[in-house]
């Protein structure tokens, strides 16, 4: 018997290292088990903030539910989770057991966000790189998703820790949908997101041009208030498909603020139709069509 084997000092760094390794191994096993039950993972990302990425992720998830799929949505925007607000779940808490944490559910969509785990919606999440990776790993490993056809991951903008961790942890069956707006400043950053996907060999389903024209609330006519055609030019330049152009409808903003996803509260709108088009493109992509 070695000295370490007979030592009862729980503060021993060697013992703590071994316990940490055991815990990490268990997390990895749990992660593998959870991911085995999920057929397709779609990372919704953008190069720049303020392009409507989270709104797109929420409504795209519900568009897939409409098609009869089993769908989950994981919000990994650790510093600014907005999914709880957009889905009317602010202040709600998920149930937990020895099996894990059970996602909340709205209209057939399973939902998890770090926002559900904070003491209040105003609490700041203060963490840096390694802690972020660990938090995302635990969200993926501890949540009891069950069998899913699609898990959508709402990332924060940019190409930093969160999207990198998502790609590394999700493994096979992952692909990206990239959201932009028509302005040049957004397109430049989105091109970086596409470069990120190429570097990590992450397949890209295509681009969504959000806020592509303004829907008048009085006559429903669509007018360009930003520069137009930028998304098409980027798609042509990079060889990435343009999935849909989603107009800016004031109702999509109020729907999110009210916790009533737009595609459910205004199913007939041009925004909802565009997002259904994206859902159809995602299904065709994963089916190899």
The pLDDT value recorded for residue 4 is 53
% of the chain beyond a pLDDT of 70: 89
Which DSSP helix (H) or strand (E) runs through 252?
Answer: helix 250-257
Say if 175 falls within a structural domain: yes
Establish if 24 belongs to a structural domain: no
Is 134 contained in some domain? yes
For residue 89, what are the contacts with CB-CB under 8 A and spacing of at least 6? 83, 104, 106, 111, 116, 259
Q: What is the tally of structural domains in the chain? A: 1
Could you tell me if residue 282 is inside a domain? yes
Dist CA 137 CA 116 (whole Å): 16
Asked whether residue 30 is assigned to any structural domain, the reply reads no
pLDDT bucket at 289, cuts 50 / 70 / 90: low
Residue 163 lies in a domain: yes
Q: For residue 251, is it within any domain?
A: yes
The CATH number covering residue 265 comes to: 3.40.50.300
Least confident of 13-22, 70-79, 164-173: 13-22
Closest by CA position to 151, among listed 181, 186, 197, 109: 109
Taking only the tens place, the pLDDT of each residue in 110-151 is: 999 999 988 777 788 888 888 999 999 989 999 999 999 999
Show the domain range for 89. Answer: 39-286
Domain for residue 26, yes or no? no
């Amino acid at each position: 018997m070695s000295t370490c084997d007979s030592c009862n000092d729980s503060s021993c760094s060697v013992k703590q290292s071994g316990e940490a390794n055991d815990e990490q191994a268990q997390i990895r096993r749990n992660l593998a088990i959870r991911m085995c039950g999920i057929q397709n993972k779609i990372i919704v990302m953008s190069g720049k903030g303020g392009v409507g990425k989270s709104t797109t992720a929420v409504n795209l998830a519900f568009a897939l539910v409409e098609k009869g799929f089993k769908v989950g949505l994981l919000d990994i925007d650790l510093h600014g989770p907005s999914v709880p607000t957009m889905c009317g779940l602010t202040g709600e808490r998920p149930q937990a057991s020895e099996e894990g944490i059970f996602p909340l559910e709205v209209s057939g969509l399973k939902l998890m966000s770090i926002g559900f785990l904070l003491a209040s919606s105003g609490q700041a999440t203060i963490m840096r790189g390694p802690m972020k990776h660990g938090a995302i790993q635990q969200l993926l490993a501890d949540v009891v998703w069950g069998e899913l056809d699609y898990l959508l991951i709402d990332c924060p903008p940019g190409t930093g820790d969160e999207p990198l961790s998502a790609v590394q942890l999700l493994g096979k069956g992952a692909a990206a949908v990239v959201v932009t707006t028509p302005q040049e400043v957004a397109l430049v950053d989105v091109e970086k997101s596409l470069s990120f996907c190429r570097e990590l060999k992450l397949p890209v389903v295509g681009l969504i041009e959000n806020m592509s024209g303004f829907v008048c609330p009085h006559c429903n006519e669509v007018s360009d208030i930003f520069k137009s055609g930028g998304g098409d030019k980027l798609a042509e330049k990079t060889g990435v498909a343009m999935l849909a152009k989603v107009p800016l409808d004031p109702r999509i903003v109020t729907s999110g603020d009210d916790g009533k996803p737009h595609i459910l509260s205004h199913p007939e709108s041009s925004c909802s139709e565009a997002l259904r088009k994206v859902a159809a493109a995602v299904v065709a992509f994963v089916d190899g069509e």
